[in-house]
Amino acid sequence: MGIFSLLTGWPGPSGFGSASTAEQVTQGIDASKLTAIVTGGASGIGLETSRVLALRGAHVIIAARNAQAANEAKELILKDIEKARVDVLKLDLSSIKSVRAFVDNFNALNLPLNLLINNAGVMFCPFQLSEDEIEMQFATNHLGHFLLTNLLLEKMKDTARTTGIEGRIVNLSSIAHLHPCEDGIQFDKINDKDSYSDKRAYGQSKLANILHAKELSRRLQEEGVNITANSVHPGLIMTPLMRHSALLMKTLKFFTCLLWKNVPQGAATTCYVALHPSLKGVTGKYFLDCNEMTPSFYARDQKLATKLWDFSNKLVHSAASTSSPSITK
């Protein structure tokens, strides 16, 4: 898979490529026995992912910060798919309190959980701290999903055990993981405003998404659990995620128009990794254009993945016990 495949849409070993859409890569797949959570499922590729999963029969829970937008997304899906099973639950990934409340509300529904699509995120935002006093891109893109996944794991394990159906966790990363902060993750400078770069901080959070899936996959395999964890790069798509850098992205798109995808193409890799039977048992991998790819050196570093896991656990516990965690330089 190279620039030729990206430009032409020529399929890779999977039979799919950059031009494939989410509907095409899931054609003929029956997901009627599956329940899925899609974070950020109210807009962009998250909405298309939710729609296509519902189209294939899955019961979809749209987890979103904006409840009105999520309910409007639900109505759009129901208008397109009359028999779709879609519910909405509020979730603000930048808030540990909100993540915990979401999990409590989901568990109260007494539903199984087969698929967790960690899709939501923020991009290139100015420096700001979350309500838990954590840099916003790291808090939203990584830490919120890290906590959400951990809190839902027992539900997913129980579902996989009782149904015999493989559970799948999909983290949306980005090619931006190739350009993180110095040393990959700046553990001692997560909140350092003086050295903050919106682009590097985004790359750091997207690297964290891959490392999270890598370490989670290792732990699940050691435990012998029937759940896979993979990460994906959806491609270059103009979505609301880019609201903090709209002018930059429009300029970039003008000069690189052939590299960009539409939203149905952007959701393809997520839906492929979540549903396609050819990926049964495949875990700890990184996908681009519906094909396995090799991520960056840092993303392949097992010691870094383990260190990030331990750091994230400590950060969650620290944030839960104090309003000012000690994570600045």
3-state helix, strand, coil in the chain (%, to 5): 50, 15, 35
Active site residue 196: yes
CB 102 within 8 A of CB 148: yes
Beta-carbon count within 10 A of 328 CB: 14
> Which residue in the list 196, 202, 286, 298 is annotated as catalytic?
196
Gap between the Cα atoms of 170 and 75, Å rounded: 25
Gap between the Cα atoms of 140 and 133, Å rounded: 12
Residue 69, amino acid? A
The distance of Cα 237 from the centroid of its chain, to the nearest Å, equals 15
CB 121 within 8 A of CB 173: no
CB 270 within 8 A of CB 22: yes
Non-local (6+) Cβ contacts of 41 within 8 A are 47, 49, 50, 60, 61, 62, 63, 64, 70, 73, 117, 119, 120
The distance of Cα 60 from the centroid of its chain, to the nearest Å, equals 15
Distances in Å between the alpha carbon of 102 and those of 5, 72, 155? Answer: 40, 19, 14
| Token pair recorded at residue 25 | 């890569």
Element housing 76 (H / E): helix 67-80
Give the CA-trace dihedral at 147, 175, 62, 261, to 10 degrees: 180
Residues labelled as active-site residues: 196
